[in-house]
Structure 1
Amino acid sequence: MTIKGVLFDFSGTLFRIEPARDWLRAALDARGSALPEAELAGYAERLAAAGALPGGSSPQRMPPGLAGLWKTRDESAERHRAAYTGLARQVELPDPGLYDALYERHMRPAAWRPYPDAAEVLRTLRERGVGIAVVSNIGWDPRPVFRAHGLDAWVDGYALSYEHGVQKPDVRLFRVACDALGTAPGDVLMVGDDKVADGGAANLGCAVHFVDHLPVAERPAGLRPVLGLIE
C-alpha cells in the first residue's frame, strides 16, 4: 500500500487541551475574579468528572436530559455548546457567568498544546509529498489553533463535523477529507486516538493507526511511528 495522504484527528492526536484547573483559572481571570487554590482545585475536579471540558475526560455520569444531545453534540456549533455548558451546569459554580466563560476559553489557542512531535511529523510528511488533512468531531473552528501554534502551513484541508452536519465514525466525513486531498481512500492513512470514531475510516477503505490519548508531557513521540508507516 502506498500512502499518499494522511488524515489526523485534532484533540488527543495532534493537540491536547489544557488541564481542568488551568482551564478554570483562565476563565476566572477573564472575568476578573479568582478563587482560593483549594476551592479552585475542587471545582476543577468536579467539572472534569462531569465531562464539561471539551477534549478532556468523558462524563462519569450522563444526566438523562443530556444523553440524546451528547450523542450528536458534534453535528452543529449550537449542539456542541449546549452539551458542554449543560454538563458544566451540573456543577454549581460561584459565578453563573463562568459557564459561558469556560466554553469560550476552551476555543482559544492558548488552551491547547501541540504534542511535542506534531510539527516534526507534519513537516516531514509534507517534505515527502504526502497530503495532510484534519478530520475532527468538533463544534467550532480549530484553524486558529493551528495558526497560533505554527502547524497550519502543513495542513491541506479540514473536515470538521459541525461544518458538514455529520460526525465520525460516519464515513461521509472521512470522504470529505479524502476528496479535499484529491486522494483515493485506499491510499490514505487515518491517525487518531478513538478506536470507534477514528476507526470508522476503515469502512471507507483507509488504513488506520491509533495513538494514545495522553497528556502532552507523557507522549513525546507518539506520532513518529506514522513516518515509518509511510516509508
Structure 2
Amino acid sequence: MTIKGALFDFSGTLFRIEPTEAWLRAVADDLGVPFAEDELARAAAGLERVGAMPGGAVPVAVPARLAGLWAQRDRSAEQHRAAYTGVAREVALPDPRLYDALYERHMTPEAWRPYGDAAEVLAGLRDRGVRVAVVSNIGWDLRPVFRAHGFDAYVDAYVLSYEHGIQKPDPRLFALACEALGADPRDTLMVGDDRRADGGAAALGCALHFVDHLPADRRPDALRPVLDLAG
C-alpha cells in the first residue's frame, strides 16, 4: 500500500504530556503554593491515579457521579474541562486554585514534548506529497502547540472532536478528516496509540499503524515505519 493521506492522533502519538510531578510543580510554583517534595509526590500520584491530567494516565476508576460526563468528555470544551477538573477534585490539594490552574497548564505548549521522530516523519510525508491531518479527541485548540514546536507547517487540517461534537471511534470524525484532505480513506493511513479510539478509522477502509503511549525518551522511532508506506 502506498498512502496518499495520513491521519495522526495527537497525545501519545505525535506529542507526549509532561510527567505528572512536573505538571503539578510548575503550577504550584506559578501560584506560590508551597509543597514539600514528599507531599508533592503523594499529590502527583493521587492525580495520576484518578486520571486528572489530560493526555496522561487513564483513571483507575471514574466516580459514578462523573461516569456519564467522562464518557462524553471530548464532545465539547465545557465537558472536557468539567470532566478533568472533576476527577482532579477527588484528590485533596492545599489550594483550591490548583485545580483550574492544572487544567490551564496542560493546554500550554510548554507542557508538551514531541516524540523524537515526529518532525522527521511529518517532514518526510510533506516531501512525498502526502497530505496530513491531525485527528484528536480533545476539548481545546491544540494548534498553538503545533505552531510553538514548529509542526504546523506539516499539517494540512486539524479535525478536533470538540469542534464537531463527535469523538473517536465514531467513523464520522475520520471521514471529516479524509474529506478535508481530499483523500480516499482506502488510500489513507491512521496513526494512533489507542486501538479502540483510533481503530475506528478502519470502518472507512483506512489502514492503521499503532504506536505505544510511552514517554518520549522511551519511544525514539515508532513513527518511522509510516514513511515506508509513503513511497
Residue in 2 that maps onto 1:91: 91
Say which SS state the counterpart of residue 122 (structure 2) adopts: helix
How do 1:43-192 and structure 2 match up within 5 A?
A: 43-192=43-192
Q: Please report the RMSD computed on the Cα atoms of aligned residues, expressed in angstroms.
A: 0.7
Residue in 1 that maps onto 2:202: 202
Asked whether the equivalents of residues 12 and 55 of structure 2 are also in contact (C-alpha less than 8 Å), the reply is: yes
Question: Hey, what's the Cα distance between the residues in 2 that align with 1:78 and 1:205?
Answer: 32
Q: What is the Cα deviation at residue 203 of structure 1?
A: 0.2
Count of residues in Structure 1 that have an aligned counterpart in Structure 2: 231
Say which SS state the counterpart of residue 230 (structure 1) adopts: coil
Residue in 2 that maps onto 1:27: 27
The AA in structure 2 aligned to 1:158 is Y
Question: Hey, what's the Cα distance between the residues in 2 that align with 1:123 and 1:34?
Answer: 43
Residue in 2 that maps onto 1:18: 18
TM-score by length of 2: 0.99
Say which SS state the counterpart of residue 26 (structure 1) adopts: helix
Say which SS state the counterpart of residue 195 (structure 1) adopts: coil
Runs of 4+ in 1 over 6 A off after TM superposition: none
The AA in structure 2 aligned to 1:9 is D
Asked whether the equivalents of residues 49 and 59 of structure 1 are also in contact (C-alpha less than 8 Å), the reply is: yes
Q: What is the Cα deviation at residue 62 of structure 1?
A: 1.1
Deviations 1:1-32 (A, max 9, x none): 33100000000000000000000011112212
Q: What is the Cα deviation at residue 122 of structure 1?
A: 0.2
Deviations 1:163-206 (A, max 9, x none): 00000000110011101101111110000000000000000111
Residue in 2 that maps onto 1:3: 3
Q: What is the Cα deviation at residue 229 of structure 1?
A: 2.1
**Aligned sequence identity (%):** 70
Asked whether the equivalents of residues 30 and 101 of structure 1 are also in contact (C-alpha less than 8 Å), the reply is: no
Residue in 1 that maps onto 2:212: 212
The more displaced of 42-51 and 23-32 is 23-32
Deviations 1:52-82 (A, max 9, x none): 0100111011100011111100000000000
